[in-house]
């Protein structure tokens, strides 16, 4: 009896399913039988066909059938499944490559740059596009290409900016600024709208949260790596002031030397000349290291103001420690300090000179070892400070000897 | 009711085990059986069921037989030979997983 009624309505049910968007024949058989069973069950409880069929249609809902069909076809699409697996494996290996590269970078081993750049390039050019394409294809409802596109641009710019920054290529700051802009005025509002639209109905999509976190992590990381503008300005101001003072003091010393040539005994003149020559040698070393650092981060001959922002923990290591005269400078400066200590008998003047040459003390030695982990501007500033100390000590010592 | 996201990964195992225990079954029968065995706690919608069934069939773990009920076609699903050994393996994996979880989530004695 019931079976007969359903058989009579078979074509109609089938037509309804087609109207609701079902086209895949093999799934059609399954769902037709399933729905008929549901209707039968309702009818066995005494309802008539019409009301129980409408009830079943209500429980199915409008968009449900295309979604099920989409999911089934994706499950069966081996090419798509392979693409998905490939995406994950690929993303994982690119990430590992990048992380190993960062480790190499940290240890200052060769090959770090190329690993980071290749790793991040693979992430940006292969993994991210594949990832957004697959996750977009998996969605059925409310497909909106704006989400993946904004998401992709944000992440791609962030990562590209980060790798440009690491490699000191131009344009890094621009990229990072634009990507943070995308994050704040594109991605976050879109994402919040999405959450509110779906609230209560569907869970928030995890990938988007992950992306948001990655974005925030990048921004935090970069702001930590970069010296803040304020601090940078303090360092450059101090460094320039030091350089100006060195010039001034050296001018005064030149006056003293002129005076010495005219008036003092020959043996004292020899001592004064020795002090002056040593001080000059030390200044030459400092200038050499300063120039080396600037050449490392920018055009040789650029001024420190042009490159102050090029934060870079390699310039000092390279231009002071590895290929610079850092350790020779410290040794010579210590000899200079020892010599002045011997020549100057007055304890008050001796203490003054000791203050000027404080950087030759063991404390400063320790600080000098941190050159490799300090940004350019800090190392530059420390060198100007040493130069100032040398110039002042030289002046004080010569003035003392002249007035004796 | 058991939350959907908890069920997600185990749905395939549940279906395979049902087929192993009951021989051939059709879709509606599977949803009914799951509801009955779980005393109504697990409601398997056809939206969740058929994508999995079709995937299992495409991978050769289950095969279909067709019967006509009046005008309509009824598809019975049953395990293949490879599906049978795979099911045993999946069920073992699942119990292993549950044991591990119990161990991890068990409140520590004060």
Average pLDDT of span A372-385: 80
Question: A365 pLDDT exceeds 80?
Answer: no
Give the pLDDT confidence score for residue A140 in this predicted structure: 63
Nearest to A34 among B28, B51, B52 (CB): B28
- Cα–Cα distance between B77 and A349 in angstroms, integer? 101
The larger pLDDT score, comparing residue A288 to residue A315, is at: A288
ipTM above 0.90, yes or no: no
Q: Is residue B95 part of a domain?
A: yes
Give the pLDDT confidence score for residue B88 in this predicted structure: 92
Range(s) of the domain holding residue B50: 4-105
- Cα–Cα distance between A142 and A322 in angstroms, integer? 59
Question: A48 pLDDT exceeds 60?
Answer: yes
**Cβ-Cβ contacts under 8 Å, A4 against chain B:** 70
Cross-strand pairs, A251: none
Question: B60 pLDDT exceeds 60?
Answer: yes
Report pLDDT digits (tens) over B30-53.
999 999 998 988 888 888 889 899
Give chain A's mean pLDDT: 79
The larger pLDDT score, comparing residue A344 to residue B7, is at: A344
Average pLDDT of span A61-81: 82
Asked if B40 and B55 count as a contact pair (C-beta separation under 8 A), the reply is: no
- Cα–Cα distance between A292 and A297 in angstroms, integer? 9
- Cα–Cα distance between A368 and A386 in angstroms, integer? 11
A256-285 in b/e form (b: 16+ CB < 10 A) is bbeebeeebeeeebebbeebbebbeebbeb
Give the pLDDT confidence score for residue A66 in this predicted structure: 83
SS3 content of chain A, % helix, strand, coil (to 5): 85, 0, 15
Question: A96 pLDDT exceeds 70?
Answer: yes
Q: Within a 10 A sphere around the Cβ of A303, how many other Cβ atoms?
A: 10
Give the pLDDT confidence score for residue A229 in this predicted structure: 60
Helical H segments across A108-205, by residue range = 112-122, 128-138, 146-167, 172-181, 188-198
Chain A residue with minimal CA distance to B59?
A76
B52 touches chain A (CB under 8 A): yes
B75 touches chain A (CB under 8 A): yes
Asked if B62 and B80 count as a contact pair (C-beta separation under 8 A), the reply is: yes
**Cβ-Cβ contacts under 8 Å, B5 against chain A:** 203
Give the pLDDT confidence score for residue B76 in this predicted structure: 94
User: Which helix (H) or strand (E) element contains residue A240?
Assistant: helix A229-263
Confidence category of residue B19, pLDDT binned at 50, 70, 90: very high
B7 touches chain A (CB under 8 A): no
B28 touches chain A (CB under 8 A): yes
Give the pLDDT confidence score for residue B74 in this predicted structure: 92
Residue ranges of domains in chain A: 2-70, 77-225, 229-403
Question: A212 pLDDT exceeds 70?
Answer: no
Question: A195 pLDDT exceeds 90?
Answer: no
Asked if A39 and A49 count as a contact pair (C-beta separation under 8 A), the reply is: yes
- Cα–Cα distance between B31 and B29 in angstroms, integer? 6
- Cα–Cα distance between A355 and A364 in angstroms, integer? 12
**Cβ-Cβ contacts under 8 Å, A38 against chain B:** 28
- Cα–Cα distance between A33 and B28 in angstroms, integer? 8
β-bridge pairing B72-79 and B25-26:
antiparallel
| A279: Cα within 13 Å, side-chain hemisphere | 26
Q: Within a 10 A sphere around the Cβ of A302, how many other Cβ atoms?
A: 14
- Overall pTM surpassing 0.90 (yes/no): no
Chain B residue with minimal CA distance to A69?
B51
**Cβ-Cβ contacts under 8 Å, B54 against chain A:** 26-27, 72, 75-76
Report pLDDT digits (tens) over B67-81.
988 888 899 999 999
CB–CB contact A34 B53 (8 Å): no
**Cβ-Cβ contacts under 8 Å, B59 against chain A:** none
- Cα–Cα distance between A69 and A26 in angstroms, integer? 10
- Cα–Cα distance between A238 and A386 in angstroms, integer? 12
Average pLDDT of span A383-389: 87
Handedness of CA A204, A210, A215, A220 (dihedral sign): positive
- Cα–Cα distance between A216 and A102 in angstroms, integer? 19
A3 touches chain B (CB under 8 A): yes
Handedness of CA A151, A156, A158, A159 (dihedral sign): positive
CB–CB contact B55 A33 (8 Å): no
Report the CATH number that the domain containing residue B8 is assigned in CATH.
1.10.10.10
Give the pLDDT confidence score for residue A367 in this predicted structure: 54
**Cβ-Cβ contacts under 8 Å, A74 against chain B:** 51
User: Which helix (H) or strand (E) element contains residue B63?
Assistant: strand B62-69
Question: A364 pLDDT exceeds 60?
Answer: no
Average pLDDT of span A227-252: 81
CB–CB contact B27 A29 (8 Å): no
Give the range among A135-149, A199-213, A285-299, B96-110 with minimum mean pLDDT: A199-213
Give the pLDDT confidence score for residue A6 in this predicted structure: 79
According to DSSP, residue A46 is labeled T
The total domain count for chain B is 1
- Cα–Cα distance between A323 and A153 in angstroms, integer? 41
CA A75 from centre of chain: 38
């Amino acid at each position: 009896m019931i079976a007969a009624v359903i058989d009579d309505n078979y074509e109609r049910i089938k037509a309804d399913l087609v109207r609701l968007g079902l086209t895949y024949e093999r799934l059609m058989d399954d769902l037709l039988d399933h729905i008929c069973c549901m209707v039968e069950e309702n009818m066995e409880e005494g309802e008539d066909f019409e009301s129980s069929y409408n009830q079943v249609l209500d429980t199915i809902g409008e968009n449900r059938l295309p979604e099920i069909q989409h999911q089934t076809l994706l499950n069966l699409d081996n090419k798509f499944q392979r693409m998905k697996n490939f995406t994950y494996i690929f993303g994982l290996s690119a990430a590992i490559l990048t992380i190993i590269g960062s480790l190499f970078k940290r240890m200052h081993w060769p090959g770090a740059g190329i690993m980071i750049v290749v790793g991040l390039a693979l992430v940006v050019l292969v993994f991210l596009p594949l990832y957004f394409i697959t996750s977009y294809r998996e969605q059925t409802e409310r497909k909106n290409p704006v989400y993946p596109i904004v998401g992709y641009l944000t992440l791609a710019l962030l990562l590209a900016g980060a790798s440009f920054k690491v490699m000191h290529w131009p344009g890094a700051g621009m990229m990072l600024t634009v990507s943070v802009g995308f994050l704040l005025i594109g991605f976050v509002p879109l994402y919040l709208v999405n959450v509110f639209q779906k609230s209560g109905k569907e869970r928030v999509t995890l990938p988007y949260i992950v992306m948001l976190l990655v974005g925030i992590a990048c921004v935090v990381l970069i702001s930590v790596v970069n010296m803040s503008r304020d601090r940078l300005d303090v360092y450059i101001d101090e460094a320039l002031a030091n350089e100006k003072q060195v010039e001034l003091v050296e001018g005064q010393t030149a006056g003293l030397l002129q005076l010495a040539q005219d008036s003092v005994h020959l043996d004292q003149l020899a001592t004064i000349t020795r002090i002056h020559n040593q001080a000059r040698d030390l200044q030459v070393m400092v200038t050499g290291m300063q120039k080396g650092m600037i050449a490392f981060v920018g055009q040789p001959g650029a001024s420190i103001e042009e490159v102050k922002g090029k934060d870079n923990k390699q310039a000092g290591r390279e231009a002071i420690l590895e290929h610079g005269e850092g350790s020779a400078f410290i040794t010579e400066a210590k000899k200079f300090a020892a010599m002045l200590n011997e020549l100057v008998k007055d304890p008050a003047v001796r203490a003054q000179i000791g203050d000027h040459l404080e950087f030759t003390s063991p404390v400063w030695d320790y600080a000098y070892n941190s050159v490799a982990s300090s940004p350019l501007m800090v190392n530059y500033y420390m060198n100007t400070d040493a130069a100032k100390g040398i110039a002042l000590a030289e002046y004080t010592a010569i003035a003392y000897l002249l007035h004796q | 009711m058991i939350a959907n996201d908890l069920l997600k990964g185990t749905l395939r195992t549940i279906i395979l085990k049902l087929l192993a225990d009951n021989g051939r079954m059709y879709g509606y029968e599977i949803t009914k059986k799951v509801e009955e065995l779980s005393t109504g706690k697990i409601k398997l919608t056809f939206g969740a069921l058929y994508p999995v069934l079709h995937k299992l069939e495409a991978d050769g773990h289950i095969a279909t037989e067709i019967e006509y009920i009046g005008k309509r076609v009824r598809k019975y699903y049953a395990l293949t030979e490879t599906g049978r050994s795979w099911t045993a393996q999946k069920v073992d994996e699942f119990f292993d997983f549950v044991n591990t979880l119990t161990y991890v989530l068990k409140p520590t004695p004060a």
